Chain A
Amino acid sequence: MIHFQSAEMTPLQRWRAILSGDPVDRVPVFPFAFGHNAILFGYPNLGDLYSKPELAYKTQIVAREIYGWDQPLFFWSPSWGITEYGGKSLFPYNPKMMSVTMVEPAVKTPEDAERLEVPDPKKDPNMIEAMKWMKKAVENKEMPMFFLSGGWLTNLDKIVEIQTVMRWIKYHPDLIKKLLAKTVEFAVRQTELLISEMGADTWIAMEATPTDSNTLISPQTFEQIVLPSAIAVHQKVLDLGVPMWFSHFCSNQNGNIKAGLIDRIPMGRPGIIHFGPEVDLKVTVERFGKKNIVIGNIDPPSIMLQPYEEVIKLAKADIEKGMYSPRGYIMGVGCELPPRTPTANVYALVKAAREFGRY
């Protein structure tokens, strides 16, 4: 790619430039900071962050200003793919909790699974509230932003208890496929709604897929059960006009990569691809860098636990592996930034990009 030689770009300029394949002044930085932003604001827990889109919006913007990172806005429905289907969720108001939890699944038996109806996102007040703040972001020219979508086992484990999902993969594989098809249909309905409200070019569909990783399931299971619905949801959303997918293939995906399964998922042109720290960034660049923007994957616990100087070194190593990836590179953390990461260590990511990531 051509590289930028003049004055400092703003985070949004950098983000848009990397999407369009234009030059950037330095490596952009996505720390995948969410919970950390609430702590930055002094919230004692993450409950409001995940239940109130207004707070998620505000904290992301201010945290980006404070640190100078380039991460665009992320949005999600506070129903989290749990309550739309009839399940019960628990927001992390306990200061020891880090994420929203499904506490009562919508589906407990194969009969429940057969009866499960695909929800209508237009009837979900949480989705309406999330869209209100997405529209605000459009008004403030904060595009393109990300919206958390689905169609994966990771979405299914918000409807069915995860160990039931794992067992049904063996006992009732066709039922799992049926349920996955319902999550694909739901993602399509959400996409249609978002497009009707704010067009297809203001946002990018994203997903995070830990349950689909080889930490839990084999590449064979991925190929036979997950891949058909992954291909379906990606293709359908792209066909509706959304320009690309940002896929956070969480955790260990080495088996799926080796078997050539990730390559079969349509990502858009370009896609944005991001693996957990278990995958060597060199492999990501070599395998996916021609068609996709790749995001780095520094080990999250190390960013939280190592001293500042070590974090600088880790960030530098990520930059060295990724910065000449053919279709663009963003330095990143391999999963969500640990919320309690020391401020200096978060700043170390941006500092390393400024010092070692200049083009």
Chain B
Amino acid sequence: MSQKEILEKLTNAVVAGDRDACAGLANEALKAGVDPYVAIMEGCSKGMEVLSKRYDTGEAFVPDILVAADAMNEAIAILKPHMKVEKATTKGKVALGVCEGDIHDIGKNIVKILLDAAGYEIIDLGPSVPVKTFVDTVREKKPEVLGISALMTFTMFGMPEVIDALKDAQLRDSVKVIVGGGPISAMFAEKIGADGYGNNGPEAVRLVGRLLGEKGGAQ
């Protein structure tokens, strides 16, 4: 198989969520001398990009994203140990977490999968994150973007609390804060002084791209 064929098949296997095919193709890529970085970025990540577009247009749903991510991770686990260290650069660092009291993290996880596939380094703070943990993360790990989600109308007020705490800690200007989740709207994001709002995973990826000054980010 040529490099082009391997990459195309890898893309298709990720889209199909086919873990066995992804593992087989990752090994095939290594045998054929394909650069593992190229296999990840132009094979696996491209598959997630295809799926992300389908998710955005209502042609793919959460189960599709999750099994595609499983398949992609199967391939990455094989390819990554063979990657040259200097190529393992990222587009930027993004910390993600759900407001305290809220355990609904499926939306945050979809954003994480898509950002990860798009080449960002992710710090996953998980569900129900105390305000202090958000602030400490910004101080210590210095992400360029902090993404906060909430599914409940009760917990969404954790978002302005985080923004206020970042201001108090004089860290607000060091990070772009983006918000999302069921009850959140662009109006709410603006009201609380967030830097952006994403209605779904693909929108969040475009938003991060725009905030970090990348070509092709959301307008």
Contact = CB atoms under 8 A, between A and B. Distances in A.
A339 B101 contact: no
A300 interface: yes
Contacts of B187: 305
A323 to B, nearest CB: 26
Interface in A207-253: 214-218, 221, 251
B155 interface: yes
A338 B153 contact: yes
A97 interface: yes
A98 interface: yes
A216 B66 CA distance: 11
B11 interface: no
A171 interface: yes
Interface in A279-336: 300-301, 304-305, 336
Chain B's interface: helix, strand, loop or mixed, by majority? loop
Interface of A: 35, 92, 94-99, 101, 103, 162-163, 166-167, 169-171, 214-218, 221, 251, 255, 300-301, 304-305, 336, 338-340
Given A101-B103, A216-B106, A301 B61 contact: no
Contacts of B62: 166, 216-217
Interface string B132-166: 00000000000000000000111111100000000
Query: Closest 4 CB pairs between A and B?
Result: A96-B101, A338-B153, A98-B154, A97-B101
B121 to A, nearest CB: 22
B203 interface: no
A340 B153 contact: yes
B174 interface: no
B185 interface: yes
Residue among A94, A214, A305 facing the most chain B CB atoms (10 A cut-off): A305
Nearest to B156: A301
A80 to B, nearest CB: 14
B106 A170 contact: no
Interface in B35-79: 58, 60-64, 66-67, 70
B109 interface: yes
B153 A304 contact: yes
A171 B101 contact: no
